[in-house]
Structure 1
Amino acid sequence: MQIVVLPGDGIGPEITTATSGVLRAASERFQLDLRLEEHAVGHASLKQFGTTVRPELLDIVRAADGLILGPTATFDFKDEAHGEINPSRHFRKSLDLYANVRPARTYAGRPGRLGEFDLVVVRENTEGFYADRNMEQGNGEILVTPDVVISLRRITRLCCERIAHAACRLAMKRRKHLTIVHKANVLKLGDGMFLDICRAAAKGYPGLEVDDILVDAMMAHVVRNPDRFDVIVATNMFGDILSDLTAELSGSLGLGGSLNVGDRYAMAQAAHGSAPDIAGQDVANPISLILSTALLLAWHGEKSGAVRYEEAARAIEAAVAKALREGRATRDVGGKLGTIAAGAAIAEVLQAE
């Protein structure tokens, strides 16, 4: 399996190094023949090539079996005419990665804030309120006067249908419970269509239990009783907010994996940002990116029919759980290790099992 690795900015190179060590351990144990091919992206690429994402990089990614994108300094990149391309947006849009899969679960030895739970947020990833994703050209925000801004949201039948089916398929592999999160009482056309399509899609999956909750009420329900949920599907912005909340409820945003998936390609990406304030200090938590790469391996295994990749993914997740249970982790999740040592501890557990 050929994987393109883009370390990114801030803490990105550190957590990517830790993650690569875990992948090498998994490759050795499960005979995966992983080949990690690293390229510059973000500020490093801007300095070297005059652009945050050089044009040929997309073809390199398309020729590989998977992509790992470290956190990038998205807020710094404002002018594409001067090479300041948002790497995350570029690959999500260019590879049509329409589903953002964000698991959140609690771990023994690292209790969640509100009891034990295990759920997944499936977020539509290509349209919605995000102004850099909902237009073919230009931007979805309009400055009418210095004091008036209009933000457009795009919702399409195609995108609703494919995210609905992605969530249903995942729910059928888990506990067969799907929750649709929406605001159809106010956004009657856009969220109304999203809700109707999700309900219609779910009818094609026998035994799937379906409910729906308004997004504002959902914030209360998931805080009050997160273990009642299994797979949650939502439009882009609602899903983004909800997945950060559920990850934090599990103990830390640094414990939340994230996989961006399309019909042909997938990109593992940490759920958090580049955290430039702690870059280079060996304190960043690598677990989010490690779990994201486990999701990438599982996706490749299912897509290719090679079971050993799915077995490796489960083993990585189990190694993370054991390392957390033993307190072999970074300080933000109760441990005393640095970034590289925390990654090495997970790799060691993985090899010893």
Structure 2
Amino acid sequence: MTYRITLIPGDGIGPEVTGATCRILEAAGAPVEWERVVAGAAAAEEQGNPMPDAVLDSIRKNRVGLKGPLATPKGKGYRSANVTLRQKLKLYTGWRPVSSLPGVKTRYEGVDLVVLRENTQGLYSGIEHEVTPGTIVSLKVSSRDAAKRIARWAFDYVCNAGRRRISVCHKKSVLPLADGAFTDAFFRVGQEYPFIEQEAVSLDDVAMGLTHDPSRFDVLLMQNLYGDIISDLCAGLVGGLGVVPGANVGDRIAVFEAVHGTAPDIAGKGVANPLAVLLSGCLMMDYVGERRVAERVRRAANDVLEEGRHITRDLGGQADTATFTDAVIDKL
């Protein structure tokens, strides 16, 4: 069976890292036919919209997408292309697995946790206005239905992934209604999963605990802004945004993506590290049921990292994008 998958190359280094990922997946035998579409800064310039309807329609049709980093032009009134994508397609779960990699030296070893982020509400709802000159109010939206929806996704994920515990993160001491509702919905759904360990942890304790001992946590569930920040902190535990995968998932649609930025300073130089998009592509293969392809690619990438001879500059090596890509393909 061949899967037709929407490909958004992205801006900056996006075309380079997604191109490398497509080459490796093809070499690994991934049965994929790509449907390429344009979004981000390029789409804004060409079509006046960083997230055109044609992109959304393509993903709705194919139900799976792979996305490079997108830039939204500043100061022109455009809304974030990434936020628009998540909200229009109801991709309510931000899924960020974080694991230590062989050959990538950091202060921590054996990190293996998952951050799940509610993608559609919170302060990213985009509801703000100027109440008096110089005074801005931004509304944090938190609904019971959205909280229960992602809580159920989290519990089902833990069951299927063989994990043990979910920690719901909050700031109830400051936001007793909004964060209290999110936490209450989590435990209400959790009553249906009595065999999964469940706890509520303040965001302060999560941040402190991650820097002291990341192994204390298994799956972290949190609201939009918290998840945006904490997921990047967790990436720093294992080497940075260039080595962690990510995805935005709804009930019927999933988009797998680079979690790093467009890196315009190195765009077009052929030196970008494609690992984050490559590992996101592996998540995508898992999602569509091609687990053997995903595991082959992970093993090959891990072998290259462990040897350390063909790694990119951000990881302490001298290899360019093509050299790293060829090395992974050779391992396959």
Q: Which TM-score band applies after superposition, normalised by the shorter structure?
A: over 0.9
Q: CA deviation at 1:280?
A: 1.1
1:33–1:77 CA distance, 2 compared to 1 (3 A): farther
- Measured on the aligned residues, the alpha-carbon RMSD in Å equals 1.7
Gaps of 5+ in 1: 302-308
- Equivalent residue runs for 1:5-16 within 5 Å: 5-16=7-18
Is it true that 1:314 corresponds to 2:288 in the alignment? Answer: no
Q: Distance in 2 between matches of 1:273 and 1:229?
A: 27
2:185 is matched with which residue? 197
Which runs of at least 4 in structure 1 moved beyond 6 Å after TM superposition? none
Q: CA deviation at 1:76?
A: 3.0
Q: Distance in 2 between matches of 1:289 and 1:12?
A: 9
Deviations 1:268-306 (A, max 9, x none): 1111111111111222211111111111221122xxxxx
1:325 is matched with which residue? 306
| Correspondence for 1:66 among 58, 64, 67 | 64
Contact 1:114/1:224 (<8 A) preserved: no
| Correspondence for 1:90 among 84, 93, 114 | 84
1:242–1:63 CA distance, 2 compared to 1 (3 A): same
Deviations 1:108-136 (A, max 9, x none): 22233223210000000111111xxx2xx
TM-score, normalised via structure 2 length: 0.93
Gaps of 5+ in 2: none
Q: Distance in 2 between matches of 1:277 and 1:212?
A: 41
1:180 is matched with which residue? 168
Deviations 1:210-255 (A, max 9, x none): 1221101211100100012111100011011010000111112111
Q: Distance in 1 between matches of 2:183 and 2:217?
A: 18
1:255 is matched with which residue? 243
1:271 is matched with which residue? 259
Code of the residue aligned with 1:257 in structure 2: it is P
Secondary structure of 1:258's counterpart equals strand
Q: Distance in 2 between matches of 1:78 and 1:343?
A: 37
| Correspondence for 2:155 among 168, 172, 183 | 168
Code of the residue aligned with 1:100 in structure 2: it is G
Code of the residue aligned with 1:40 in structure 2: it is V
Q: CA deviation at 1:56?
A: 2.5
Deviations 1:72-101 (A, max 9, x none): 112537424xxxx53322321121100010
Contact 2:16/2:268 (<8 A) preserved: yes
Code of the residue aligned with 1:142 in structure 2: it is H
Q: Distance in 2 between matches of 1:263 and 1:200?
A: 20
Q: CA deviation at 1:50?
A: 3.8
TM-score, normalised via structure 1 length: 0.88
Is it true that 1:116 corresponds to 2:110 in the alignment? Answer: yes
Q: CA deviation at 1:65?
A: 4.0
Code of the residue aligned with 1:155 in structure 2: it is S
Deviations 1:304-323 (A, max 9, x none): xxxxx122223322222222
Count residues in correspondence.
328
1:50–1:191 CA distance, 2 compared to 1 (3 A): closer
Secondary structure of 1:313's counterpart equals helix
Contact 1:41/1:53 (<8 A) preserved: yes
Q: Distance in 2 between matches of 1:57 and 1:107?
A: 33
Q: Distance in 1 between matches of 2:326 and 2:130?
A: 49
